[in-house]
Amino acid sequence: QSATFSNGAPRKTLVILGSGWGSISLLKSLDTTLYNVVVVSPRNYFLFTPLLPSTPVGTVELKSIVEPVRSIARRAPGEVHYYEAEALDIDPEQRTVRIQSVNKDQEYTLDLKYDILVDGVGAQPTTFGTPGVYENASFLKEISDAQQIRIKIMGAIEKAASLAPNDPKRQRLLTFVVVGGGPTGVELAAELKDYVDQDLHKWMPELSQEIKVTLAEALPNILNMFDKKLVKYAQDLFRQEKIDLWLNTMVKKVDNTHITAKRGDETIEVPYGVLVWATGNAPREVSKKLMSKIDVQNSRRGLLIDNKLQLVGAPAGSIYAIGDCTFHPGLFPTAQVAHQEGEYLAKAFKKLHQVDMLEWEISQATNDKRTHLQPRLEKLQNEVENFKYNHKGALAYIGKEKAIADVAVGESQYRLAGSFTYLFWKSAYLSMCLSFRNRILVAMDWCKTYFLGRDSSV
Ligand code: FAD
Ligand code: NAD
C-alpha cells in the first residue's frame, strides 16, 4: 500500500503485537486499507485456547484449534505485513519497537517505527516463584505445552506398565497432579479423568484403575469466579468421579518426583508421575520493560489502560493495550474480554482515521475553511466512545460430559449445570471458533471421540 492516500494525507503505520485473541479479533474486524498494518508475533497462528485443555488427551486435535496468521491476513481487505518475531522492547518516546526474529534460518533484529502500536502480547504462566516448577512441571498455555503433557502422560503409563504391580515407582508414575483450581486446572483434570475412564480403561483395564488424578488448590474451593452452587456441583462431581481434590493446599516446592505442599499447619510430601502447573498469569518481559519506562505504570499485574484502552502515561493516541497483558478493574484476563477489546479498537481506528483525514484537510485549508471545519473535527473526536465490556457469562467443562455455566442475559443471571449445559458449552465454543474451518474440524473431532474414542498416540 502506498505511503499516502489519494488526497496526499499520510497513511499511518499501525503495528499490532501478538496473534492471540485480542490482536486477531482486531485484525479480523479492522479496515486494513486505512493503515499500513504490521503484525509481529512469534506464533504464526491463532490458538483457540478454550479447547486447549481437550488436546493433551486427544478429545480435540491441536490442528483443529489453530488458524494461520497468513490466512487471516490474506482475507483482510488491505495489505498486512507479518513478522514472525517477538517484540523485545518498546520505546514510547521514539515510537519504535525492537523486534527479533524467532526463525532460526532468518535471524534479524530491527527497530520498527509506528504511529500507533497495539500491544496484545498476552501473559505468561506464573509460578509465584515456587522452586522447581520450571524444571519439573508442564504448563498449559501453548500447543507445545499440550504436546509435552501428552508425551509425559503416555511415557508415564508405558513405564508404569513395565513395572510390577506392587512397585512403589509404578504408583508414583500413575499419579497425575494438576496444581491450580482455576478453570484451566479444572478442565484439564476433568479431561484427564475422562481419558482414563473412557479410553485407557478399554486398553489397560487394570492399570487404568491405579491412575490417580489430583487437583491441588490453595483456596477453600475451586473455580472462584463461579457462583457458589456451581462450585459445589463441580466439587461434588469431582469427588463422585474420584478425582482427588486437595483444597486449602498450597504447593510450596517441587522436585522431579515429589510435591511439597502446606495444608493448614501440616506439610505434606506427595510423589507424582506427571505434574501440570496452572496457577494463573504474570506479565511478559516486554510488558515489564514497558512498565518500567512509565512512572504511572505501577501495577505489577499488568499494563494500566484507560477507558479507551490507551496505555496510561504514553503519548496520547500512540499505544493501546488489550487482553491479558493489561490490568483494569472489572476486566478479567479472558478470551471474551480480549475479543471484545480487539473488535472495539477496530471500530475506534475507523473513526480515528476519519479524524486524521479531517485534520489533514484542515492543515491544507485556507483560514476561512479551517474555521468552518473545526466544529466537525470536534464532533468526530467526541464520537470515539469508551470501551464497554459486555459480560456474557462463564463456562467450564467439568468432566463426564457435564459443564457449568454462569450466563448473563441482560440484567438477569442464569446458573446452569449438567449434561444439557455440556451441549450448550459445545455449541457456545463452536460459535466462538474464529473460522468455519475450525468449527468443522472441532465438530468432527467431537464425533470421532464419541464414536471411536480418543486418539492418544504420541
Ligand atoms: P493470547 O491469546 O495469549 O495471545 C498473545 C499473543 O502474543 C500470542 O500470539 C503470543 O505468541 C504473542 N506474543 C507473546 N510474546 C510476544 C512478544 N514478545 N512480541 C509479540 N508477540 C508476542 N478465556 C475465556 O474467555 N474462555 C475460555 O474458555 C478460556 N479457556 C482458556 C483455556 C486455557 C488453557 C488458557 C491458557 C486460557 C483460557 N482462556 C479462556 C483465557 C484466554 O485464552 C486469554 O484470556 C486470551 O488468550 C487472552 O488473549 P490475548 O490476546 O491477550 O493473549
Ligand atoms: P486462575 O488464576 O483462574 O486460577 C489459578 C488458581 O491457582 C487459583 O485458584 C489459585 O488460588 C491457585 N493457586 C495459585 N498458587 C497455588 C499454589 N501454589 N498451590 C495451589 N494452588 C495455587 O488461572 P487459570 O485457571 O490459568 O486461568 C487464567 C485466566 O484464564 C482466568 O482469567 C480464567 O478465567 C481464564 N480461563 C477461563 C476459562 C473458561 O472460561 N472456561 C478456562 C481457562 C482459563
Residue 455: its pLDDT value, please?
A: 81
ipTM: 0.98
Q: Which three cell numbers stand for residue 268?
A: 505434606
- Indicate the top mutation candidate among 29, 324, 430 to test ligand 1's pocket, ranked by most ligand atoms within 8 A of CB: 324
**Residue whose C-alpha is closest to residue 353's, from 97, 2, 5, 1:** 5
Q: Which three cell numbers stand for residue 357?
A: 483525514
pTM over 0.90: yes
**Order of strands, sheet of 258-263, starting from the edge strand that comes earlier in the sequence:** 249-254, 258-263, 266-271
- Report which ligand 1 atom has the smallest distance to the Cα of 86: 19
- Report which ligand 1 atom has the smallest distance to the Cα of 88: 18
Cβ(325)–Cβ(119) below 8 Å: yes
**Residue whose C-alpha is closest to residue 23's, from 119, 96, 100:** 119
Residue 326: its pLDDT value, please?
A: 98
Whose CA is closest to atom 32 on ligand 2? 333
* 239: phi then psi, degrees, rounded to nearest 5: -65, -45
Compute, in angstroms, the gap from residue 377 CA to the centroid of ligand 2.
45
Q: Which ligand is nearest to the CA of 331?
A: 2
| Residue 54 CB less than 6 A away from ligand 1 | no
Whose CA is closest to atom 11 on ligand 1? 43
Compute, in angstroms, the gap from residue 44 CA to the centroid of ligand 1.
14
User: 274 pairs with which residues across the strands?
Assistant: 176
- Indicate the top mutation candidate among 15, 16, 21 to test ligand 1's pocket, ranked by most ligand atoms within 8 A of CB: 21
- The helix/strand/coil state of 13 is strand
Cβ(371)–Cβ(363) below 8 Å: no
C-beta atoms surrounding 416 within 10 Å: 18
- Indicate the top mutation candidate among 49, 51, 141, 337 to test ligand 1's pocket, ranked by most ligand atoms within 8 A of CB: 49
pLDDT along the chain (458 residues), means of 10: 89 98 98 97 98 97 96 95 98 98 91 98 97 98 98 97 95 98 98 97 95 98 96 98 97 98 95 98 97 94 97 97 95 96 98 96 89 92 94 95 93 93 96 93 97 84
- The helix/strand/coil state of 414 is strand
